[in-house]
Amino acid sequence: MTTTKLVIIGGVAAGASCAARARRLNEFAQITLIERGPDVSFANCGLPYFIGGEIPERDALAVQTPDSLKAMLNLDVRTHTEAVAVDRAGKRVQLRHLPAGTTEWIAYDKLVLAPGAVPVRPPLPGIDDPRLFTLRSLADMDRIKAAAASAQRVTVIGAGFIGLEMAEQFIRLGKQVTLVELQNQVLPLLDPLMTRLMEDELRRHGVTLILGDSVERFAGGATLTCHLKSGRAVDTDLVVLCIGVRPDTALAREAGLTLGSRGHIRVNGFMQTSDPDIYAAGDAVETEDFVSHELTAVPLGGPANRQGRLAADHIFRPAQTRPYPGALGTAIVRAFDVAAGLTGWSEKRLQAAGRPYRAVLVNDNHHANYFPGAKPLLLKLLWAPDTGQVLGAQVTGLAGVDKRLDVIATAIAGGLTIDDLAQLELAYAPPFGAAKDLVNLAGFTAANVRDGLVTPVTELPDDPAVQILDMRPAALVQTHPLPRNHVINIPFPTLRQQLDKLDRNRPVVTVCALGKTSYFGARILAQHGFNVQSLIGGIRAHYDPRTPAKLPTP
């Protein structure tokens, strides 16, 4: 077996996975792992939880050390070491040892770039205030944890996945938390309705949510003040910026490797850059999108790990390596008791790209309704109108969110259609699911929409010419009336006897709590010749899901 000099730049997810797989494949290769920071292979995704104390032991996050990697994988690990230049013709990398600044060149046969990404810090006035933090490394984590000890008011900027985790963990620490988000919703990757439950949950736990606003400048002093575009000012003791990351690709750029439009390293399916002896993996690369085959960047731990592993495979056994299938962007976040996530494409992304799609929203419980502890789930399914192929899904709820996302991610990977979802044979016993799981229900509903059995409407109509038929039980209608004036109340079981209460010459929108009964009613009306649509997802999807008394008025 020939000895290969493998140099890997970046020692966390993609880099560490690459090194580990490389060692299994070649016991005799010289594998050097270069890391600018002090830590390698740490549990990046766990950082917020140590700050909040939900992960009590810091050691739990420091998965490996240079010594353990030497012992386990016989790696030459160089921490506090920066790669400053690549001599592609000479196949060598220049290293700078920190803090001394001494440099050396080391040779490679194959080079893997896994530099990751760095948090975005916009050039706003006051951005250099020492009370402003970003979170990427164990050192960042330690700094935030130390600063939080004496802070009472904490502001998190950006309500993406990490922003939500930070807000939750600061509440856990008893802080006053303000969460500022540019979009009019948290979790901007999701479609708006799908974040309502999460927003409700954050507010219930005391997070002050400021949506549709952003920081214009920070003003230092005894108190740090975040001045927002709206004119609002938020006094705070500590700010964590969670507004995204940008790929750390200066080295790749200087080496003349092809980069994408947003600065990511371009790779082929085997993670090879424009130089076939240089691979790249993780947050710094652009890969194919699984659904559209367009270029995309998905800075997440799962893809990074698998890409790093795949690069090692291609270096040591190219003939047997299967190309990266593309990224789905599957992601999930928990805050307090609520989870929300997505896989594949969202409606807003499909709209922005001008791709044809159809969508349904379905509500159900996470396991059999009759079994104690059933908790509500809301699922949005998007599919291609021509083929029925599943394009994406979003799920939110109090339990079982991850399972439905994983099932649909797998369905997308298998090219399954809405009809296939309807027929999936999932594990059912009362504590775990239902004879017709929410995923089956999404398939049924989507097929019903495709086949014209029901015409969904996504908002309550404002037009008083449209008859809004509220079929919920009378008690619910009374306690939680619909936020419209032109509503006709007919409880569903009496609908067949009361069809004459409806004007056959005017359109009807059927409404219920969950979107099932409204479908049932729409079927009856349609077969009686009415022009009828059904409010998809029911009231629960469209208005405050756990406190429907607080239905907004138009």
- Considering only 99, 123, 451, 552, the residue that binds its own copies (CB under 8 A) is 451
Closer of 437 and 544 to its own copies (Cβ)? 437
Binding flag, residue 492, its own copies (CB under 8 A): yes
Closer of 38 and 430 to its own copies (Cβ)? 430
Q: Tell me the CA distances in angstroms from 247 to 119, 244, 285, 357, one per residue in order.
A: 9, 10, 8, 31
Binding flag, residue 538, its own copies (CB under 8 A): no
Closer of 321 and 458 to its own copies (Cβ)? 321
Of 90-109, which residues contact its own copies (CB under 8 A)? none
d(CA 85, CA 384): 46
d(CA 510, CA 483): 14
Of 499-528, which residues contact its own copies (CB under 8 A)? 519-520, 523-524, 527-528
d(CA 347, CA 97): 47
Sign of CA dihedral 427, 450, 342, 441: negative
- Considering only 7, 9, 13, 466, the residue that binds its own copies (CB under 8 A) is 13
Contacts of 396 (CB under 8 A, 6+ apart): 190, 194, 195, 197, 198, 338, 339, 340, 341, 377, 378
CB of 367 to its own copies, least distance (A): 9
Of 152-181, which residues contact its own copies (CB under 8 A)? 161, 165
Binding flag, residue 399, its own copies (CB under 8 A): no
Closer of 83 and 418 to its own copies (Cβ)? 418
CB of 54 to its own copies, least distance (A): 7
Closer of 253 and 496 to its own copies (Cβ)? 496
Closer of 107 and 413 to its own copies (Cβ)? 413
**Residue 107 DSSP SS3:** strand
CB of 347 to its own copies, least distance (A): 19
Binding flag, residue 324, its own copies (CB under 8 A): yes
Of 411-450, which residues contact its own copies (CB under 8 A)? 411, 413-416, 419-420, 422-433, 435-437, 440, 444
Query: Total residues at the site for its own copies (CB under 8 A)?
Result: 98
Is residue 95 a contact partner of residue 34, using CB atoms and an 8 Å limit? yes
Give per-residue burial for 160-198: e unless 16+ CB within 10 Å, then b: bbbbbbbbbbbbbeebbbbbbbbbebbbbbbbebbbbbb
Closer of 94 and 268 to its own copies (Cβ)? 268
Give strand ranges (E) for 169-223: 176-181, 208-211, 215-219
CB of 319 to its own copies, least distance (A): 11
DSSP labels for 404-415?
A: HHHHHHHHHHTT
Binding flag, residue 137, its own copies (CB under 8 A): no
d(CA 462, CA 361): 21
- Considering only 265, 297, 331, 449, the residue that binds its own copies (CB under 8 A) is 331
Which residues face 120 on adjacent strands? none
Binding flag, residue 339, its own copies (CB under 8 A): yes
Binding flag, residue 370, its own copies (CB under 8 A): yes
Torsion angles phi and psi, residue 200, rounded to 5: -60, -45
CB of 147 to its own copies, least distance (A): 22
d(CA 430, CA 333): 26
Torsion angles phi and psi, residue 325, rounded to 5: -75, -5
Binding flag, residue 336, its own copies (CB under 8 A): no
Of 219-238, which residues contact its own copies (CB under 8 A)? none
Binding flag, residue 198, its own copies (CB under 8 A): no
* Chain centroid offset of residue 113 CA: 25
CB of 76 to its own copies, least distance (A): 14
Q: How many CB atoms lie within 10 A of CB 135?
A: 20
Interacting span for its own copies (CB under 8 A) from 248-256, 272-280, 407-415, 460-468? 407-415
In this structure, what is the dihedral angle of CA atoms 111, 114, 115, 117, given to the nearest 10 degrees?
150
Residue 190 structure tokens: 């999701």
DSSP letter (8 states) at residue 28: T
Run of H or E residues at 392: strand 390-397
Of 47-86, which residues contact its own copies (CB under 8 A)? 49, 54-56, 60-61, 63, 68, 71-72, 74
- Considering only 122, 206, 325, 385, the residue that binds its own copies (CB under 8 A) is 325
Interacting span for its own copies (CB under 8 A) from 132-140, 151-159, 214-222, 398-406? 398-406
Which residues face 341 on adjacent strands? 332, 395
Instruction: Report, in angstroms and rounded to the nearest whole number, the Rg of the chain calculated over CA atoms.
Output: 27
CB of 287 to its own copies, least distance (A): 11
CB of 399 to its own copies, least distance (A): 11
Of 258-317, which residues contact its own copies (CB under 8 A)? 290, 300-306, 309, 317
The residue length of the chain stands at 554
CB of 246 to its own copies, least distance (A): 21
CB of 343 to its own copies, least distance (A): 7
- Pair type for strands 215-219 and 224-228: antiparallel
Interacting span for its own copies (CB under 8 A) from 75-83, 101-109, 489-497, 500-508? 489-497
Contacts of 236 (CB under 8 A, 6+ apart): 131, 151, 153, 154, 155, 178, 223, 224, 225, 226
Residue 36 structure tokens: 């600018």
CB of 495 to its own copies, least distance (A): 9
Closer of 143 and 523 to its own copies (Cβ)? 523
CB of 249 to its own copies, least distance (A): 22
